[in-house]
Amino acid sequence: MGSRIFYIKTFGCQMNERDSEIMAQSLAAHGYREGQEISEADLIIINTCSIRAKAEQKVMSLLGMLRKEKKDRPALKICVAGCVAQQEGEQLLRRMPHVDFVIGTQNIYNIIELLEEQPGNKKVLTAMSDAYDIPRFIPEFQPENHLLPSLLARPFKKFVTIMQGCNNFCSYCIVPYTRGREISRNKDDIIDEVNVLVEHGVREITLLGQNVNSYGLANTVTRNGSPYSFPLLLKDVAQSGLKRLRFTTSHPKDLSDDLIQCFQEIEILCNQIHLPVQAGSDSVLKKMNRKYTVTDYLHKVDALRSSCPDIAITTDIIVGFPGETDRDFEQTMRLLEEVRFNGSFSFKYSDRSGTKSSGFGEKVTEKIKAERLSRFQARQDEISLEKNSAFTDTSMTVMVESINTKGFQGRSVFNHVVHVESLLPSAPGDLIDVTIFHAGQHSLQGRII
Ligand code: 5AD
Ligand code: SF4
């Protein structure tokens, strides 16, 4: 048993990245080692994403390629995890007979049980429950985890999952179906996990959830049942001795005044928020079931900027939602001019079967979606460059992330990627003051002060 090697490939979001770490840690604690290549692995885990058709196609094409690998090496085990696994369940074994195991989004903590209970048997573990209690899980620094290259890659910077699932049912989104109802993790477990991480040298934590703003709203999060909220959690986590704290993702409708105040009150909370708006037209937002108007969103942006004047705001945009007219799209372009996001992730609307909008008429053609997307992205790039250029000749503190032959790459509190040429020794996790001398669309260049 001691010599088995696993290889894990992760698609999609940061939630999936964290879930992959958890599966990797469970495997390491049971004698597996992590390999760097598919060819050396006895077990391949594909952690999948189905948010857009393109993401799912990537997963399916990798699974298709693994058919030959399995034929050449019949003892190889292939396990599919994540949103595609949850969605397809048993069906995946029929469509892809070379797949051995299917593990759903609420079952990752049981991966050993799935793999080892009845060796050789094909199995599916995709049960979901509204009362799912996210397990207590802190094996991060057990000695066996030092065998895990993926965990050692950035030992000073970690994700901590604080909630699972989503109750919002935006009409385009598959997540409430693949990740289930919103469940907040027990507060004491979160704080314990953060403390263990900090004790072992972690300096930056990102609290993760589909909608962290509603942490604690949907259910009880303390073992004794006293009221608790995301702003209180941020304050408690900030006591841990961390250097930097971030969170993602936020839903504008749940961004409370208390949370906005946190940017003023909590020193280590980075000046940065990802606040997906999705569209700049009220009628599209209504059809998307987003539960806010453009005016509501702009008020939140104003409040954030009053609390933290230099806060960097990034967003997600969907272009070509069913029924989106030229006029609606122009309103999205106008919103971009009004807010001037520091950056954005923008996507062409993608029909996901089972979602409400997949049944909507007036689908926008691929050609128009592509035109709108490239127009939006071109303007966003200009704005990002203008915003980044404002940092030229200013100084900022950079946390070192990786060292290269010329110097290092790190991040600012605003979450810019900063490249620094330097011969001075530095280590990942170090905080170094630099002056910015060049700005690009997606990164800055600095020199040590
Ligand atoms: N089509 C296109 N983009 C989508 N997103 C979610 N569902 C879809 C879809 N069906 C985008 C949203 C969300 C981000 C994670 O992915 O912008 O915020
Ligand atoms: Fe999807 Fe909306 Fe939930 Fe985000 S808030 S995961 S877009 S349903």
Distance (Å) from CA 163 to ligand 2 centroid: 13
Beta strands 33-34 and 163-164 are unpaired
| Least distant ligand from the CA of 169 | 2
Residues within 6 Å of ligand 1 by CB:
51-52, 172-173, 276, 278, 316, 318, 347, 349-350, 352
Nearest CA-CA partner of 126 in 76, 50, 55, 180: 180
Tens of pLDDT, residues 341-389: 999 999 999 999 999 999 999 999 999 999 999 999 999 999 999 999 9
Q: Are 46 and 62 in contact (CB under 8 A)?
A: yes
Determine the distance separating the centroid of ligand 2 and the alpha carbon of 438, expressed in angstroms: 36
**185-194, 196-205, 221-230: range with lowest mean pLDDT:** 221-230
What digits encode the pLDDT tens for the residues 389-448? 999 999 999 999 989 888 999 999 999 999 999 878 788 899 999 999 999 999 999 999
For 374, residues 6+ apart whose C-beta sits below 8 A from its C-beta are none
Among 50, 251, 286, 355, say which to mutate for ligand 2: greatest number of ligand atoms within 8 Å of CB: 251
The rounded distance, in Å, linking the Cα atoms of 249 and 162 is 11
Residue 137 has pLDDT above 80, yes or no: no
Check: CB of residue 326 under 8 Å from CB of residue 362. Answer: no
| Listed residue (14, 4, 19) closest to 147, CA to CA | 4
CA 172 to ligand 2 center in whole angstroms:
8
- Residue-wise pLDDT for 95-125, tens only, equals 999 999 999 999 999 999 888 876 666 688 8
Structure tokens at 147: 């065998």
Q: Distance of alpha carbon 412 from its chain centroid, rounded?
A: 19
Tally the C-alpha atoms within 13 A of residue 412's C-alpha that lie toward its C-beta.
24
Ligand 2 centre to CA of 180 (Å) is 11
What separation in Å is there between the alpha carbon of 347 and the centre of ligand 2? 14
Residue closest via CA to ligand 2's atom 5 equals 168
How would residue 223 be classed by pLDDT, with cut points 50, 70 and 90?
A: very low
List the alpha helices (DSSP H) in 73-110: 82-88, 90-95
**CA 190, CA 171: separation in Å to the nearest integer?**
31
Which of these, 218, 172, 148, 233, lies nearest to 355 by C-alpha position? 172
State the distance from the centre of ligand 1 to the C-alpha of 173, rounded, in angstroms.
6
Judged by its nearest atom, the ligand closest to the C-alpha of residue 12 is 1
What size, in residues, is the chain? 449
CA-to-CA dists, residue 43 to 35, 39, 81, 446, angstroms: 10, 10, 13, 43
The H or E element spanning position 81 is: strand 77-81
Q: What global pTM score does this model have? A: 0.93
Considering only CA atoms, which residue is closest to atom 9 of ligand 1? 350
Alpha-carbon distances, residue 144 vs 31, 141, 191, 241, 347 (angstroms): 8, 8, 23, 26, 40
Domains of the chain: 5-125 (3.40.50.12160), 143-389 (3.80.30.20), 395-448 (2.40.50.140)
* Residues in the ligand 2 pocket, defined by CB under 6 Å: 166, 168-170, 173, 175-176, 210-211, 251
Phi, psi of 144 (to 5 degrees): -65, -20
